[in-house]
Amino acid sequence: MYCRKCGQEISDRQSFCPYCGADQRKETTSFTTMIDIKERKNNKVKKTRKYVLSYVALSGFIFSFLAVFFDAFVFINLIPFAVFGALFGLISLVLSIIGIKETKHNIKNGSHFAYSGFVLSILALIVLIVVVLITIFYR
């Protein structure tokens, strides 16, 4: 294997480069996958990092749509579905916040899903609260 920083050939078992001291351990988070692709041309190592989508950010986005879906039932006076709308809205909010922190505002690994899920979950929760309050006070 080759050093990530200086490009010198080192043993596969080494955690740090003996030449420059750079850390050679894998850089992964628990929910985002990063793949290192290395090419060796003319005694230089060209490293390309490919980001794979953050699953937490995508989950927050999907849960926000479920929250909006269950909020629609509240408009036709099926108030028990408000519990599901609130539950999915809160789950979406938490997952989206984790996704925003995890993706570090990088669009390559799904920050757009995290931000969209965050905005949709906030809107879904606001609409749910307003509709439930209107339904309760004007019955």
For every residue of 71-131, DSSP letters joined together read: HHHHHTT-TTHHHHHHHHHHHHHHHHHHHHHHHTT-GGGTHHHHHHHHHHHHHHHHHHHHH
66/118 same-domain check = yes
Bridge partners of residue 44, in order along the sequence = 41
Q: Which of 52, 69, 88 is the last residue of a domain?
A: 52
9/74 same-domain check = no
Domain of 33, in residue numbers? 1-52
46/65 same-domain check = no
76/25 same-domain check = no
- Alpha-carbon distance of 88 to 42, in angstroms, equals 54
107/44 same-domain check = no
What pLDDT shows up at residue 111? 80
| Chain CA centroid to CA 29, Å | 11
The tens-digit pLDDT sequence of the chain (139 residues) is: 777 677 778 887 888 888 888 887 765 444 444 444 455 555 565 555 545 567 888 888 899 988 888 887 777 767 677 788 888 989 999 988 888 887 776 666 678 888 999 999 999 889 888 877 887 888 6
63/113 same-domain check = yes
